[in-house]
């Protein structure tokens, strides 16, 4: 199930896999995911893909390292990544996870995410030094002094271009008007840069058996914490306790619904790029809501 060359390579890197213990695991639709043990019985999580997708693993490892360095919320430790015989791999700490955290679980998750958003870069700037991915879509970063300029140029304008390549039909005039409104709203918002998970929804969060919150599969960068909170509402997965706990530390800003519509426009466009379907029309409705 695991290519022998990958087993050999990881053994040389200090991770002697017990290859026959690895079984398919839930790990999203992009990579092949396996859960098993090393020769000492330690639980490990292994992702595999074609060598051409190795940059996704590099970005994921970088994001996990950024989150892990904050010591605010548990993430699986990234152990090794590389390419062997045309196969890209990412080896992570294996964790025994469950979907719910029991009584107080949502509150604990909200508290940990609030603490994460209190983590700021050494310099007051937005972005990240390396590009990464949101799902399978390239996500350009770099550093900007202005959140409004970063989000307009590195997030929305980038996704509009990708969406039109896929046939989204977003006219230049409509995009220009939308981006002008977004820029004005975000200039007024003027947030401090916080470390974001970047892809925070119910499918990328869980709990250890004892109830400790865990997040994974990040698309991390420094931005407005409300961008993370906006996406938690797009597909669900977080209960009222999450928001009560988060808002204790980070009260909702003025105009939060419009702000969340702006931030979720990015994800609607990305879902159209990835999956097509009705996401383009949802994005166009959101653009009209933002402009009203």
Which of 202, 197, 203, 211 minimizes the C-alpha distance to 108? Answer: 211
Count of CB atoms situated within 10 Å of the CB of 169? 11
The answer to whether 246 and 114 are in contact (CB under 8 A) is yes
Give the H or E element holding residue 149: helix 147-150
Which residues are designated catalytic? 199
Which residues are within 8 A (CB) of 19 and not within 5 positions of it... i.e. 6 or more apart?
1, 2, 4, 7, 36
Count of CB atoms situated within 10 Å of the CB of 128? 26
CA distance 198 to 218: 6
Which of 111, 126, 32, 48 minimizes the C-alpha distance to 84? Answer: 48
């Amino acid at each position: 199930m695991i290519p022998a060359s990958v087993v050999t390579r990881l053994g040389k890197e200090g991770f002697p896999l017990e290859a026959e213990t690895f079984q398919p695991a839930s790990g999203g639709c992009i990579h092949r995911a396996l859960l098993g043990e090393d020769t000492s019985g330690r639980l490990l999580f292994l992702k595999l893909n074609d060598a051409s997708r190795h940059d996704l693993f590099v970005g994921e490892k970088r994001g996990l390292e950024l989150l892990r360095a904050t010591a605010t919320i548990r993430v699986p430790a990234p152990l090794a990544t590389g390419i062997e015989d045309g196969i890209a791999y990412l080896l992570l700490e294996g964790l025994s996870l469950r979907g719910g955290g029991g009584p107080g679980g949502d509150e604990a998750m909200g508290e940990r995410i609030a603490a994460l958003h209190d983590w700021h870069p050494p310099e007051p700037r937005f972005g990240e030094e390396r590009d990464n991915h949101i799902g399978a879509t390239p996500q350009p970063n770099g550093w900007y002094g202005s959140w409004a300029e970063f989000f307009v140029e590195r997030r929305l304008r980038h996704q509009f271009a990708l969406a039109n390549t896929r046939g989204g039909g977003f006219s230049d005039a409509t995009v220009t008007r939308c981006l002008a409104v977004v820029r004005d709203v975000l200039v007024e918002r003027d947030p401090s840069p916080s470390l974001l998970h970047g892809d925070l929804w119910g499918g990328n969060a869980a709990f250890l058996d004892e109830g400790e919150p865990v997040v994974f599969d990040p698309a991390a960068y420094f931005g407005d914490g409300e961008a993370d909170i906006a996406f938690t509402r797009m597909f669900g997965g977080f209960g009222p306790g999450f928001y009560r706990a988060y808002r204790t530390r980070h009260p909702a800003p003025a105009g939060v619904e419009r702000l969340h519509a702006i931030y979720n426009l990015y994800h609607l466009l990305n879902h159209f790029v990835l999956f097509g379907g009705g996401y383009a029309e949802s994005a166009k409705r959101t653009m009209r809501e933002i402009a009203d």
